[in-house]
Amino acid sequence: MIVAIVFVVLIAIGMPIGFVLGAAGIAGLIQMGGTGFLHLTPAKVFHGLNIFPFLAMPFFILAGEIMNHTGITARLVGLARVLVGHLRGGLAQTNMVVSVMFAGLTGSATSDAAAFGKTLVPQMVRHGYQRDYACAVTAAGSIIGPTIPPSGLMVIYGSLLNVSIGALFAAGILPGLVICLICMVVIRLGANANNLPAAERRAALIDMWREFKGSILALIMPVIILGGILGGIVTPTEAASIAVAYALFIGVFVYRSISFQDMYGMLVRTARITGVIFVIIGFATILGWWLSFNQIPQAIATQMGAMSDNPYVIIAMIMGFLLIVGMVMDITATLIIVAPVLVPLTNSIGMDPVHAGIMIILALNISLMTPPVGACLFVLSSVTGEKLERIAMKLWPFLLAETLVMVLFSFNETLALFLPRFFGFVEWAP
């Protein structure tokens, strides 16, 4: 009870979530036996981070930083625009398509939201879109980033629960693409209500070829990452390090846009972003140990299991639980604390851990854009100056559509595991 109070109070008074996890964990240890258990804290943090696959995260961040620096955003926007710019609300559709392309380069929704908030949103506003709508489209598209691999959340889930990261990466591709398609449909259906600009002229084939040529070097990177991992040739960490080498090669030798000073800035930013993520992981390990020592995950799983033995009801409860928790808590922290609680429950109803993982990750990604603490909303609000509430008002059709995608993939194992099975990570159902 004391731990819960400490946790809630510290969150409420604005303490960074990583620090809250550490403080609540320490409070739990003190409650157990005064200062006698505090000697465990450094070991828990150290061993919580001493996991080789975690290296993939800083490498994917660095590869994304380098690619961003080469001006690849503008090239990808150009390509997406010649492909879908002729549809009604062409720039909004472009936003969605470029989110998919970007998703293969970075694994973070907030970095996608920040990048597009600075580039695409002003461009959309100049072309007659309302700013709150442009932000809502960007927020909706940004969660494609951590759904389509590479994805930091998948690395964490796979590492902590001993599930193949390659299988999770494979499982993320289809929902990411479906989210893109369904959001494009939502844009088209809401075109009149949002007074979207008329369609542009369809691009000529020669323009398409020119834009494709300009972007091809960026588009190869996801192929290298995914091809290597899904083909079983390299581990995710190795693939991430190769992605860094590739991005560096084209940044330095092809685009010639990276100086030594730029490189230093990218290394520091990567390290700092890693620090922000790893403090959450490391300190969550303290709280996680306290929870499991007191058998709280088992108690929660038993409680949830006792409410119903119907697998569909349990899946629905888990989705609802994650969406609610994700509304008020950082998703990395939620994943680390909650996944070890939920996976035994999903195992008990015969759900494959890869299927459970993709459901959990989809739910947490969707919570990135739900008020009051949806990180993507915050980023877009601060980058564009638009009010958070106004973005949220325009966002709900997308939120509903993406929740439907989550429901579809959570209840349909065949669909959710199609690609992991296709690539040989999961056995085909008999």
Partner 1 sequence: MQRFAGELSRMINWVVERVIATLMLVLVLDVWIGVIDRYLFHWQLPWPEVVARYLMIWMALLAISAGIARREHIGLTALTSRIPTAFRRPIAVGVECIALVMFLAIAWYGLDFAEKGARKFAHIFGMSLYWPYMALPVAMGIAALQSLLTAVRDLGDYSAFETVEFIE
Q: Binding residues for partner 1, per CB under 8 A?
A: 10-20, 22-23, 26, 38-39, 41-43, 45-46, 49-52, 54-55, 58-59, 62, 234, 237-238, 241-242, 244-245, 264-265, 267-268, 270-272, 274-279, 282, 328, 372-373, 375, 378
Task: For residue 365, give the nearest of 409, 408, 399 by alpha carbon.
Answer: 399
* Of 37 and 321, CB closest to partner 1: 37
For partner 1, the closer CB: 199 or 328? 328
Q: How far is the CB of 263 from partner 1 (least distance, A)?
A: 8
Find out whether the peptide bond into 146 is cis, omega within 30 degrees of 0: no
90 vs 96: CA distance, rounded Å: 10
Dihedral sign, Cα of residue 32, residue 38, residue 43, residue 46: positive
Least Å distance between CB 137 and partner 1?
Answer: 24
Rounded least distance, CB 241 to partner 1, Å = 4
CB-nearer residue toward partner 1: 39 or 126: 39
Q: What is the 3-state secondary structure (H, E, C) of 354-397?
A: HHHHHHHHHHHHHHHHCCCCCHHHHHHHHHHCCCHHHHHHHHHH
For partner 1, which is the closer residue by CB, 209 or 293? 293
Q: How far is the CB of 228 from partner 1 (least distance, A)?
A: 10
User: Least distance from C-beta 305 to partner 1, angstroms?
Assistant: 31
Separation CA 102–CA 339 (nearest Å):
27
Which CB atom, from 1 or from 13, has the smaller least distance to partner 1?
13
Query: Distance between alpha carbon 247 and the CA centroid of its chain, in Å?
Result: 21
CA distance linking residue 249 with residue 288, whole number of Å: 41
State both tokens at 131.
């700013």
CB of 226 to partner 1, least distance (A): 17
Cβ nearer to partner 1, comparing 12 with 254: 12
Give me the helix-helix angle, 205-230 and 236-249, nearest 10°: 140
CB of 102 to partner 1, least distance (A): 22
Identify which of residues 365 and 381 has a Cβ nearer to partner 1 in the complex.
Answer: 381
Please report which helix (H) or strand (E) contains residue 119, including its range. helix 109-126
